[in-house]
Amino acid sequence: MRGIRRNPGHSRMTDVAARAGVSLATVSRALRGSPEVSAETRSRVLEAATSLSYVVSPAASRLASGRTATVGVVVPFITRWFFAEVVAGLEKGLHQAGMDVLLYNLGDADGRSRFFDRMPLRRRVDAVVILSLALDGCELDLVTGLGVPVVCVGMQVPGCSSVGIDDIDAARRAVRHLIELGHERIGMLRGAVEPNLGFTVPLDRHEGYLAAMAEAGLDTAGLTASTPWGPDGGAHAMTELLALPQPPTAVFAESDEMAIGALRTLRRAGLRVPEQMSVIGFDDHDMADLLDLTTVWQGVHQQGATAAEMVLSGLAHPDAPPRRVLLPTRLIVRQTTAPPRISARPSLNVPA
Amino acid sequence: MRGIRRNPGHSRMTDVAARAGVSLATVSRALRGSPEVSAETRSRVLEAATSLSYVVSPAASRLASGRTATVGVVVPFITRWFFAEVVAGLEKGLHQAGMDVLLYNLGDADGRSRFFDRMPLRRRVDAVVILSLALDGCELDLVTGLGVPVVCVGMQVPGCSSVGIDDIDAARRAVRHLIELGHERIGMLRGAVEPNLGFTVPLDRHEGYLAAMAEAGLDTAGLTASTPWGPDGGAHAMTELLALPQPPTAVFAESDEMAIGALRTLRRAGLRVPEQMSVIGFDDHDMADLLDLTTVWQGVHQQGATAAEMVLSGLAHPDAPPRRVLLPTRLIVRQTTAPPRISARPSLNVPA
DNA sequence: GTGAAAGCGCTAACAC
DNA sequence: GTGTTAGCGCTTTCAC
């Protein structure tokens, strides 16, 4: 026999059609909920399908319709709390709509270039969601070249919908909190753009820090420590700032993970928080509450849910203009921030 | 015109064939690296494909071959550090082999039953990886009914390959560490099987705890506090144990997250760790190092990598018997465990 | 080593 | 409202 051997176990649409006593086309329509089918026919079809435990072949359906009912989710680091939380929100919204989720975790600069070299999304998704990756021109072309809607979380791309928060404003409010407590020497622990994934978050949060300081007429020279992102980075950055001839009395960490690292450094240095050093983080990480860390909350899960919703509406209304949603943030004051013990100026005195 | 409108932009295999001056079949063979194609022909085909920026249509390929080159990954909570880390390992290994990863995050008991009701994996994956879910008989049937290889991480299913650690043994060693330090009243903080996802980890680690205590002839009555999994659970469990007429001098937490919650309770209660209470966790969570938490390390990422490898070999050798891999664990002693300040027994005497 | 052709299992015109 | 039928773009058998 020529051609191809028939597939295993599964019953096919023809089987359902035969069993229900209708044509193939009617089964297809009934199963996909087309309004052209009479209620009576539909229920006969459904019954036949159930009794045969029939499931449509996604491959055949995709080939014939051109739709994949799949969305690609591209995430820099699935292991970071923030991203995992966004992915959870996305996954839920997408699966509820019957979409499949293809996960691509870049991991590092290497993984990133492998991804863009192969562009494994081509011809296999109806839409793409990208998290927090500032794309260069070339990458942008590759993504838009997919010819499907693109939704961004925590970043923007011309012509694409996006969700996020106002990082600059939120950072400014965090730093203002320290200023209002009376701090004047305020440092920032900043995550360097390590594997060069081009996050914009560090830039924006630093900008917010500078803005708040400038508004208050405070000096920032030498008070920003840039280290690799993450707890260890935060620990090192804190060490750097402590080594300053005149250390800050408070620090703003780009993320809670960095703040947590800073707390360790302070603990090991024997400095009491908040008495001798105030620390404020950003994100309201799971652990922030446990460590009594003052921070800035953002609705992370909801960013994922919103992105899912944007994907669905982008698919439903391909010609609708892109949307840009900014979700609110909120200062959460806990136990790691307090007024400086002694005014920061002239006679700062911190026992070693 | 009848039938279906042709798809957008993409060039098809026929285009490549025409350009390379060979037949459709030869293009298909060349592109998939069949050895039947001469080197010279292959390079002509590759060149033609590149110049047309051709990519095979996964849908067509799947329909014709019956293979999806996709694996479904089913995870209880992608937002938990452990699972995210395993998924990262899996994703990397699978993508390197050219497989797509479909992510299913159950999230809670509701999500779990929705998943098993719809069984969205049917006809769309070549293999399934399931993390830490003890499946009931019905679920098991649904999964094996997929007719594809199943790989388990952190649990077992008859007839399927699995990776994991020896939770009982690792827990026993953790508790022995406390015993060797001289502790006699040792509590356990146990995560209740909250949304009833049927994890076996809590059972095994508790069993290890009981075993170590029994070996040493120590009493465990009333010393296990079961609360919902997670930091808050750990915090509550610790509170419970502190309220005991005779509280323990050390606690073994089922996971680092629970240990971290316990640390907060202790901090708030003004108890010093490890002087007044020793705490040991499990997992070597990212945060463990930051909090100087003594714990049990396991190679989480590697469990994912091993599972990926099992998927690939299961696909390559469908008749090979299932494998069971137990990865090693290691006690990591940090700053949260020490000898009890006052001996629990009459006159064992360890200087504070 | 290469080509011809028969499907894979659906969807979507189009006709009635 | 329902049936007919022409593809969707590949993979694989068989023949040479």
CA of A191 to C1' of D7 (A): 54
Task: Quick: pLDDT tens for B266-276.
Answer: 999 999 999 99
% pLDDT > 90, chain B: 88
Mean pLDDT, residues A297-321 taken together: 97
Distance (Å, whole) CA B160 – CA B285: 28
Chain A 210-229, residues with CB within 8 Å of chain B CB atoms: none
Using a pLDDT cut of 90, give the percent of chain A over it: 88
Q: What is the mean pLDDT of residues B71-93?
A: 97
pLDDT above 60: residue B304: yes
Q: Using omega within 30 degrees of 0 as the cis cutoff, is the peptide bond preceding B58 cis? A: no
- Protein-proximal nucleotides of chain D (any atom < 7 Å from a CB): 1-14
Rounded Cα distance, A45 and A52, in Å: 11
- pLDDT for residue A324: 97
- By C-alpha distance, which of A232, A210, A212, A233 is closest to A221? A210
Round to whole Å and give the CA distance between B289 and B283.
11
Asked if the model's pLDDT at residue A344 lies above 60, the reply is no
Enter the tokens of residue A342. Answer: 């002694």
H or E element, residue B29: helix B24-31
Q: Is A115's pLDDT higher than 50? A: yes
Q: Give residue for tokens 């120590």.
A: B218
Statement: residue B132 has pLDDT above 60 = yes
A42 contact partners, CB below 8 Å, separation of at least 6 = A30
pLDDT score at A199? 84
Q: What are phi and psi of B103, to 5 degrees?
A: -100, 130
What average pLDDT does chain A have? 93
The tokens of B247 are what?
């509280």
Instruction: Kindly identify which residue of chain B lies nearest to residue A70, measuring between CA atoms.
Output: B102
B73 strand-pairing partners: B103, B129
pLDDT band at B6; cut points 50, 70, 90:
low
Closest CA to B170 of B287, B329, B307, B327: B329
How do strand B161-165 and strand A186-192 relate by DSSP bridges?
A: unpaired
Residue A337 corresponds to which amino acid?
T
Characterize the bridge pairing of strands A329-332 and A295-298. antiparallel
Task: Give yes or no for residue B1 having a pLDDT over 90.
Answer: no
3-class DSSP assignment, residue B59: helix
Q: What local confidence, expressed as pLDDT, does residue B198 receive?
A: 74
pLDDT at B345: 41
Name the residue facing B101 among A103, A107, A264 (closest C-beta).
A103
Q: Is the peptide bond before B274 cis (omega within 30 degrees of 0)?
A: yes
Q: What is the pLDDT of residues B133-153, one digit of tens each?
A: 989 999 999 999 999 999 999
- B9 band by pLDDT with thresholds 50, 70 and 90: confident
Supply angle C-alpha A244, A248, A251, rounded to 5.
Answer: 120
pLDDT band at A348; cut points 50, 70, 90 = very low
DSSP, res B283? B
A158 in contact with chain B, both atoms CB, cutoff 8 A:
no
pLDDT tens column, A14-70: 999 999 999 999 999 999 998 888 999 999 999 999 999 999 999 999 999 999 999
How many percent of chain B have pLDDT more than 70?
93
Give the integer Cα–Cα distance in Å for A239 and A262: 8
- The 3-state DSSP class for residue B226 equals strand
Mean pLDDT of A146-157: 95
- pLDDT, tens digit, for every residue of A158-169? 999 999 999 999
- Residue B351 has a CB neighbour count (10 Å cut-off) of 5
Residue B234 tokens read as: 């750990």
Residue in B closest to A67 by C-alpha: B59
Residue B98 has pLDDT above 60, yes or no: yes
- Encode pLDDT of A255-304 as tens digits: 999 999 999 999 999 999 999 999 999 999 999 999 999 999 999 999 99
Backbone angles phi, psi at A189, to 5 degrees: -100, 115
Query: B107, A123: Cβ pair inside 8 Å?
Result: no
Mean pLDDT of chain B: 93
pLDDT at A151 over 90: yes
Average pLDDT over residues B114-122: 95
B317 touches chain A (CB under 8 A): no
Its pTM stands at: 0.94
Mean pLDDT for A154-158 is 93
CA-wise closest residue to B196 among B112, B252, B312: B112
List the single residue in B8, B60, B235 with the smallest CB-CB distance to A147.
B8
Per-residue pLDDT of A127-141, as tens digits, reads 999 999 989 999 999
| Nearest CB neighbour to B147, from listed A8, A62, A123 | A8
**Radius of gyration of chain A measured on its C-alpha atoms:** 27
Rounded to the nearest 5 percent, the helix, strand and coil shares of chain B are 40, 15, 40
Please give the pLDDT value at position B12: 94
Tokens for B289?
A: 């190092």
- Mean pLDDT throughout B65-73? 97
pLDDT of residue A44: 94
Can you give the pLDDT at residue A350?
46
What is the percent of chain A with per-residue pLDDT over 70, rounded to a whole number?
A: 93
At A198 the pLDDT is 74
Q: Is B68 helix (H, G, I), strand (E, B) or coil?
A: coil
pLDDT at residue B351 tops 70: no
pLDDT of A192 reads: 80
- The residue in chain B having the minimum alpha-carbon distance to the alpha carbon of residue A54 is B122
pLDDT (average), residues A173-199:
88
- Using the Cα atoms of residue B271, residue B277, residue B278 and residue B280 in order, give the sign of their dihedral: negative
Amino acid A5: pLDDT: 62
Mean pLDDT of A144-169: 96
Strand spans (E) along B108-249: 127-131, 150-153, 161-165, 186-192, 224-228
Task: Please check whether residue A103 touches B, CB under 8 A.
Answer: yes
Q: Is the pLDDT of residue B123 over 60?
A: yes
Which region among A59-73, A79-93, A109-123, B194-208 has the lowest average model confidence (pLDDT)? B194-208
B238-269 tens-digit pLDDT? 999 999 999 999 999 999 999 999 999 999 99
Contacts of B138-143 with C-beta under 8 Å, sequence gap 24+, read B142/B116
DSSP B253: E
Centre a 10 Å sphere on the Cβ of residue B315 and count the other Cβ atoms it contains. Answer: 17
Predicted confidence at residue B193, as pLDDT, reads 65
- The neighbouring-strand residues paired with A192 are A228
Q: How far apart are CA B158 and CA B152, in angstroms?
A: 10
H or E, element range at B250: strand B250-253
CA B203-B151-B328 angle, 5° bins: 55
Distance from CA of A141 to the nearest CA of B (A): 14
Grade residue B352 by pLDDT with cuts at 50, 70 and 90: very low
**What is the pLDDT at residue B2?**
60
How far apart CA B8 and CA B22 sit, in angstroms, is 24
Average pLDDT over residues B182-203: 85
Nucleic strand D near CB of residue A23 (< 7 Å): yes
In A26-45, the residues whose Cβ lies within 8 Å of chain B are: none
Three-state SS string over chain A comes to CCCCCCCCCCCCHHHHHHHHCCCHHHHHHHHCCCCCCCHHHHHHHHHHHHHCCCCCCHHHHHHHHCCCCEEEEEECCCCCHHHHHHHHHHHHHHHHCCCEEEEEECCCHHHHHHHHHHCCCCCCCCEEEEECCCCCHHHHHHHHCCCCCEEEECCCCCCCEEEEECHHHHHHHHHHHHHHCCCCCEEEEEEECCCCCCCCHHHHHHHHHHHHHHHCCCCCCCCEEEEECCHHHHHHHHHHHHCCCCCCCEEEECCHHHHHHHHHHHHHCCCCCCCCCEEECCECCHHHHHCCCEEEEECHHHHHHHHHHHHHHHHHCCCCCCCEEEECEEEECCCCCCCCCCCCCCCCCCCC
Q: For residue A165, what are the contacts with CB-CB under 8 A and spacing of at least 6?
A: A154, A298, A303, A326, A327, A328, A329
B70: part of which helix (H) or strand (E)?
Answer: strand B70-75
Phi, psi torsion values for B163, nearest 5 degrees:
-120, 155
pLDDT tier for residue A200 given thresholds of 50, 70 and 90:
confident
